[in-house]
Structure 1
Amino acid sequence: MEHQCQCGHTHNEAELGVQYNLYQKIDLQNVECLNEAEEGSGIKVFKPWEERLSGSAYVESDVDDELLFNIPFTGNVKLKGIIIIGGPDNTHPDSVKLFKNRPGMTFDETTTEVDQEIQLVRDQYGVHEYPIKVVKFSSVQHLTLHFSGTAGSEKTRIDYIGLKGEWSPAPRQGVVIATYELRPQASDHPQDNDHFTREIQ
């Protein structure tokens, strides 16, 4: 099935569905969503492509129109695209800022240098792809997304965040080299050797 979104391009859903599978490579247990109205609701927006239009799982902001996601991956990601489905009416966010490899970010830090900022359009089918600066996002272990602004609502709602890219395992930590004795050497155990000598005497 194909859709023509507000960008004027026609998108093949089946093709996008195959590409937007990075949710499987997110360390969901350690995802952090700041300013979510319901605790634990932030991780619900990372879901299979086929479930993106389900309005039952979403996150809504609490005290204002901002949401901040700290998203760790289980390896290295070359990020190539993002799709956002916002909430109905005026709860759709206006923009999202992307930060690479800055775990534990807070709202106070979102005024620092941004790696990429995207102005969002309303996309009810979840087929509008926002291209990512691949050179900048070629080795991502942690992604931070800062959503802000609405068309007048005090709350921001997000139903789906889709991520496209290439995943590879994280580099293994340095190998610890250990030496094991096959046969104890007397010179390595002087105390035991003295004890053995006294017993003979």
Structure 2
Amino acid sequence: MCSHGHSHGGCGAEHIPEVGGDDVYRYDMVSYIDLDKVTTLNESIDGAGRKVFKMMEMRDDKTDYVESDCDAELLFNIPFTGHVRLHGLSIIGDEDASHPAKIKLFKDKEAMSFDDCSIEADQEIDLKQDPRGIVDYPLKASKFANLHHLSILITANFAGTDSETKVFYIGLRGEFQHEFRQRVAIATYESRAQLKDHKNEIPGQVTRSIL
């Protein structure tokens, strides 16, 4: 087993998957993920983790995937372009034991490392083996109603904790709420006409021609 600076603590995980048919839910929040800033710890290939966040229509494409470098854990740090409300998620793994089995979710904990994951998670979920992405996992409304960053920690796969995990797709469903306040304030300021910026466009006096 390879160590990346953390211990495998454990507490009871709640089992809340809900099974539905194809396309019962829409996982469209990828449009609001700042993909260039997504980081994945313990990935075997740098940059592979962000590729599993893709349009729902591409979820069956197994070309891109992320695999853990050593042991089963993967930690995704996912920033959004504004504040969002999340309702649920979907995870597609392989048909073998490398499929993720347990995850922990953390709200607004930017740049998390494995050492930070000892804190209590906002939600823990036991996953089903779901290579087609038809299982929806509802998220707690009270926890994920207003956030700008999500961390997903995969703690085990169906082989346990010592073998590599493989993920093809992670879909998030929810809704965009509002942009960051600082950006809104700047946009509002810039939209106001400033007298000094338009002094050459404002006549000093009104002239009339008398016929």
2:92 equivalent among 85, 91, 113: 85
1:10 CA drift (Å): 4.0
2: CA distance, partners of 1:20 / 1:8: 15
Q: Does 1:166 align with 2:172?
A: no
Q: Does 1:106 align with 2:105?
A: no
Residues 100, 143 of structure 1: 8 Å contact kept: yes
Bigger drift between 152-161 and 107-116 goes to: 152-161
Deviations 1:92-135 (A, max 9, x none): 11111000001000001111011000001101210100010011
Letter paired with 1:51: M
Q: Does 1:134 align with 2:137?
A: no
- How many residues in Structure 1 have an aligned counterpart in Structure 2? 174
1:172 CA drift (Å): 2.9
TM-score, normalising length: structure 1: 0.79
Once the two structures are aligned, what percentage of the paired residues are identical? 42
Q: 1:74 to 1:161 in 2, by over 3 A?
A: same
Q: Does 1:150 align with 2:165?
A: no
2: CA distance, partners of 1:172 / 1:101: 16
**Structure 1: 5+ residue runs without aligned partners?**
1-6, 183-201
RMSD: 2.1
1:151 CA drift (Å): 2.4
**Structure 2: 5+ residue runs without aligned partners?**
1-16, 200-211
Letter paired with 1:67: L
Residues 148, 156 of structure 1: 8 Å contact kept: no
The higher radius of gyration belongs to 1
SS in 2 for 1:129: strand
Residues 21, 164 of structure 1: 8 Å contact kept: yes
2:63 equivalent among 24, 49, 56: 56
1:168 CA drift (Å): 2.3
Give the equivalent residue in structure 1 for 2:72. 65
Query: Hey, which bits of structure 1, 4+ residues long, moved more than 3 A?
Result: 7-10, 174-182
Q: 1:127 to 1:113 in 2, by over 3 A?
A: same
